[in-house]
Structure 1
Amino acid sequence: MLSEYQQFFTGRPTIAIAQDLLGKLVTYDGPDGKTGGYIVETEAYLGENDSASHAFNGRRTGYSESLYGQPGDIYLYQIRGHYCFDIVVQDPNEPQGILLRGIEPAIGTDLMAAHRKMGGVNITNGPGKLVQALGIHSRSLDGRPMETSPLRVDLEHFKIPREIITTQRIGVNMQGKDGAKPQRFIVAGNPYVSGMRKRMMDLEKHGWKD
């Protein structure tokens, strides 16, 4: 039987879960301290029928095996030298996932800046950047249930987006049948969204409701 925590990550469309994750707090209790931030950008990957998914056409390897786990499990993978953090959603053997693409730093912000060796929005405005900022440098957490992991999404502490914008995903093969589908979700105006233009940034409230 699924726990109440796991139930958040299944039983409804992955696209709905990806939008509901916006504003939730992701935290990591790392060896050098606790870090975390509010999720401002997600992408939904819909499994074996999604041409941009690691499981497209039933592709299943040891590397991506975690995608076939329980809802709320961690799928940590590496691409072009950077680690990325996916959350497994839906039932076991239904390999759908949600990629975290951007977070707004909120806990251990100085430590996050030290991990990235920089300041400003570039600390966490991309999937590889946010994982590095949190202090994760390996796949050791891959396959772990978030509920009992040092890396987890806090479902009880969150901000509410004023507006959610839906766009095409970034960095996927646009020639694939699903490449152009609108499966990326962002907090409108948040400066930590990847590629957010300065003129579109809400520098006062960062796109959150009061």
Structure 2
Amino acid sequence: MKILWLLLFLACSPKPEPKPSYAMAEQLFEQQKFIEASKILSFLLDDQPTLPGARNLLARCFFFLGNPNRSFEELEFVLQSSEPLSEASLDALFLMGAISLESASLRSSNDIKGEQAWKLYLKVSPHTDLKAKVQSGLAEIQMLKNPKKATDLARSYIQNSNPSKALLIFARLLSKHPHYVPAWHYQGMAYVMNQDPQNAIRSWKQVLQRDPAYARRFKLHERMRIAENL
């Protein structure tokens, strides 16, 4: 009887929680559960600050959680604590450049670091399979420094039915050049194509506030009335 009760007790007892592991964090990341993955990675890194791959993955989590500047902190730690040509270092350099290109909320100092990281990446890994992507990204980073060229690039994405890419460029451009009125104008066009008339109206209101003559020339009042009925 005692053995039976013992077996029943063991069967009914709650199973112990699995010990957090890097594999578990990877699985959560693949499921886009970035908060849960970042908690496990932070726990692991508290005990093993240089756990291979963990800090790079944590940087990715912070990017998808909307905190690219924290991503840079993690990646800079990787560069400081890893061998220069290690897989972790090369991955960190690539990620810094990619985040600089894709994020609209990165500090200007980190923007500069991201561009430098990609240049260094090409220097130390000249035969990488990602060479064409990095070179294209660097060209786009350069273009974003010129408001007119960046706006022209974004318009080309609109013309090719890719409003999401255009909106990303406008977000980055306007975070650095908020007074460049044509960017607000064509951002509104991208929002219309993206079926977001309310944000289109908000963009065009920026034009009205900043340059009423420009707004009249391009008949933005009429566009706003049309957008209100979409």
* Bin of the TM-score, shorter chain as denominator length: under 0.3
TM (norm. structure 1) is 0.26
Question: Could you say which structure has the larger radius of gyration?
Answer: 2
Instruction: Report the structure, 1 or 2, having the larger strand content.
Output: 1
Q: Identify the structure with bigger relative contact order (alpha carbons < 8 Å, sequence gap 6+).
A: 1
